[in-house]
Amino acid sequence: MKKMVCFYQAKCEIYDRSLTDLRSPYDKTEAFIVGEAKKYSTHYAESLKKRFLNGMEELKLKDRIK
């Protein structure tokens, strides 16, 4: 489960970095998401979360069938 959470966070962070060139002066990997990009970032994170949860449910069902 921890690996899935880390993977989710990494996917969201990479997507956020693709939306903007604004970076923190202290951490060049941190992306600042403002304005219109915030809507896209939130939508991506929510849809990715749904896909992860659906995938987890499918794995649980497969384990029950075995």
CA distances from 2 to 5, 42, 43, 45, 52 (A): 5, 22, 23, 17, 13
CA distances from 24 to 8, 39, 52 (A): 22, 20, 29
- Tens digit of each residue's pLDDT (9 = 90 or more) over 7-19: 899 999 999 989 9
**Prediction pTM value:** 0.74
Instruction: Give residue 42's pLDDT.
Output: 94
Q: Provide the residue type at 47 as one letter.
A: S
| Average pLDDT of the chain, as a whole number | 86
Q: Is 2 exposed, middle or buried (0-12, 13-18, 19+ CB in 10 A)?
A: exposed
Domain ranges of the chain: 2-65
What is the average per-residue pLDDT within 15-38? 85
Instruction: Give residue 66's pLDDT.
Output: 60
Instruction: Give residue 39's pLDDT.
Output: 94
